[in-house]
Structure 1
Amino acid sequence: MSRARNGWILPVSIVIALLLGLLPLPPVLQPLRPYWLALVLAYWVIEAPESAGLGFAFIVGLVADLMFGGLLGEQALRLVIMTFILQRFRARLRFFPLSQQALAIGVLLFNDRVVAGAVHLTLGEPALPWSYWWAPLLGMLLWPPLFLLLDATRLGKRK
């Protein structure tokens, strides 16, 4: 398949992930919101590293910071750290079965929460409540269906 034919999938998936991050949730479910942007970016770093690298992660993170109204640069930092780790281990991670990939993504999402907690602690903001630590587990469970959906969309029908 030509790159021009599938060039729309990356930006559309990022926009959808940003919109899912803005979707209002009841206060009870808010801590369980998966980090959609990190999940989608992780897919593109693993499957199309020529299109999604550190610079792309930084720009997407800045856009997310502006959209979500958080500290400018926080999500950019978190996504760049995740992208760097994914690029480092991409050659191995790409050939893991989906269940093992999901575990690795869960660890990366947990690491993301640690980085977010460190940023909040450094700035003197209140620590994240314990309920926010469940979101990486939900992201880990969502990885296989999200991966298969994006893969099917990117590759089209297989004959």
Structure 2
Amino acid sequence: MTRAIWIPWPVLLTLLAALALAIIPIPDALRPARPEWLALVLIYWAMAFPSRIGILTAFVAGLMLDTLLGQLLGQNAIALAVVTYIVLQIHPRLRVYPVWQQMIVVALLMALFKLLALWPQGITGFPPGSILYWLPVVTSTLAWPLMYFLLRDMRRRWLLHLT
């Protein structure tokens, strides 16, 4: 008999918090620098629980993000699914890297995420306005240590028995 794969409630709460951070109002000057919170959370949980957080979770979360941001449906969903797939492929190595090396991988994953999200925009005739489109790659990379340590602490407190 197979057991059902379920997502633990602390993981769901962090995904909802990341969605909330994606739409929370911030000053116009800071808006281009908003980190990709949902992508960071998905990267961490896919790395920590590869058997529970997968491509379908990333795709559904991306559809929610597309809906909340009013963007082309599937734009972020496909990009997050691809990034999560890559994390699932490299998670055994990624888990043992120190945080500064993980930051390099996260920077590459964020650049890929932004590139994949840019593709449908270009096809539909809505290319980004400026080079500031790529600023979340930098801010997300810089936010990775904070996200990593917060989620690791949460995992150790609430979810240690699932690893």
CA distance in 2, matches of 1:62, 1:96: 30
Contact 1:117 1:128 in 2 (8 A): no
Q: How many Å separate the matches in 1 of 2:145 and 2:24?
A: 22
The equivalent of 1:3 in structure 2 is: none
Q: Secondary structure at the match of 2:82?
A: helix
Residue 63 (structure 2) pairs with residue 53 (structure 1) = no
Match of 2:68 in 1: 67
Q: Partner of 2:30 in structure 1? A: 29
Alignment of 1:9-158 (within 5 A): 9-156=10-157
Moved more, 120-129 or 67-76: 120-129
Code of the residue aligned with 2:54 in structure 1: it is G
* Secondary structure of the structure 2 residue equivalent to 1:124: coil
Structure-2 separation of matches of 1:42 and 1:69:
23
Match of 2:3 in 1: none
Task: Point out 4+ residue stretches in structure 1 off by more than 3 angstroms.
Answer: none
Higher mean alpha-carbon deviation, 105-114 vs 118-127, is at 118-127
* Paired residue secondary structure (1:156): helix
Partner amino acid for 1:95? V
Tell me how far 1:77 sits from its aligned partner.
0.5
Structure 1: runs of 5+ lacking an equivalent? 1-5
Shift of 1:127: 2.8
Deviation digits for residues 17-59 of structure 1 (CA, Å, limit 9, x no counterpart): 0000011121111110000000000000000112210111111
- For 2:86, give the aligned amino acid: I
Superposition RMSD in Å: 1.7
TM-score normalised by L of structure 2: 0.88
Please report the TM-score for the alignment, with normalisation by the length of structure 1: 0.90
SS in 2 for 1:94: helix
Taking the aligned partners of 2:84 and 2:43, their CA distance within structure 1 comes to 7
- How many residue pairs were aligned? 153
Indicate the percent of aligned positions where both proteins have the same amino acid: 33
Structure 2: gaps (5+ residues): 1-6
CA contact (8 A) 2:118 2:127 kept: no
Kept in 1, the 8 Å contact 2:40–2:140? The answer is yes
Deviation at 1:7, TM superposition (A): 2.5
